């Protein structure tokens, strides 16, 4: 399993490097194109182990010849079996027989098992942390009070007393109690920003990126990919809020 994951992470890195190089060479500046490109790379990264399995080519080889047995003092010992310790020590060195000891075998198995346990523990902790975060946020959403005023439009906007800033969970927008005192431009900017997150499905994209990071936590590319997707989601949402306000300076002041 670790071999498959390592190869999948390497293939994803190569694919991401090719996409990154292509965006630079073609001088792509549109954040929507960047976002779409990295979402495709994310989907390929998650599906890479399956793609590797489906594209595997099996080559049938002729069976190898069986090794000749070793004849020692009128006793026949198969070459692949371990000779007794006393008998092996008495053999002349020119026979060139190398037999692995039990300690060496156990040592190799222990290292591989240790690597598997470490991977499973780290991945499990990251998945547990993600699940706890989703669970706690879901409880906030369920306990939040829907805002039925006209300025929210048709969006699912709720008032939550336990947050200090706007939060998007799925298709629900949570606002802090201070939103009651916001002026109209600030409300429009916040709803435009968070509404863009909802329209683009950024919550689900970042959730998949977090799962990808947990599965390939040993790959720096998986960490960078999540960070890049989150950054692009904020850039696109900020651009939409600026378009609604039609005033970059005012929006910058709201962010500060």
CA distance 15 to 47: 13
The 8 Å CB, 24+ separation contacts for 251-254 are 251/189, 254/185, 254/186, 254/189, 254/190
pLDDT of 224 above 80: yes
Q: Is the pTM of this model over 0.85?
A: no
Query: Where is average pLDDT lowest: 6-10, 30-34, 69-73, 137-141?
Result: 69-73
Q: Which residue has the higher pLDDT, 103 or 247?
A: 247
Query: Is residue 91 packed enough to be buried (19+ CB in 10 Å), middle (13-18) or exposed (0-12)?
Result: middle
pLDDT band of residue 80 (cuts 50, 70, 90) is very low
Q: Which residue has the higher pLDDT, 61 or 191?
A: 191
Q: Are strands 156-159 and 172-175 parallel, antiparallel or unpaired?
A: parallel
Q: With pLDDT > 90 as the criterion, what percentage of the chain qualifies?
A: 66
């Amino acid at each position: 399993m670790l071999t498959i994951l390592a190869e999948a992470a390497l293939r994803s890195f190569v694919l991401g490097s090719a996409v990154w190089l292509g965006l630079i060479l073609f001088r792509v500046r549109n954040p929507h194109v960047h976002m779409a490109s990295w979402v495709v790379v994310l989907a390929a990264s998650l599906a890479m182990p399956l793609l590797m399995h489906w594209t595997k080519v099996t080559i049938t080889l002729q069976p190898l010849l069986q090794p000749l047995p070793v004849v020692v003092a009128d006793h026949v010992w198969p070459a692949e079996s371990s000779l007794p310790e006393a008998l092996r020590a008495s053999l002349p060195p020119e026979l060139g027989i190398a037999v692995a000891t039990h300690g060496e075998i156990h040592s190799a198995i222990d290292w591989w098992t240790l690597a598997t346990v470490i991977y499973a523990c780290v991945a499990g902790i990251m998945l547990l942390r993600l699940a706890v975060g989703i669970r706690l946020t879901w409880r906030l959403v369920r306990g939040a009070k829907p805002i039925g005023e006209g300025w929210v439009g048709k969006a699912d906007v709720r008032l939550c007393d336990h947050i200090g800033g706007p939060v998007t969970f799925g298709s629900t927008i949570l606002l802090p109690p201070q939103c009651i005192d916001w002026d109209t431009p600030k409300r429009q900017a916040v709803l435009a920003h968070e509404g863009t997150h909802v329209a683009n499905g950024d919550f689900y994209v970042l959730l998949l990126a977090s799962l990808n990071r947990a599965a390939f936590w040993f790959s720096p590319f998986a960490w960078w990919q999540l960070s890049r997707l989150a950054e692009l989601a904020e850039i696109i949402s900020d651009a939409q809020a600026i378009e609604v306000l039609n005033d970059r300076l005012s929006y910058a002041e709201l962010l500060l």
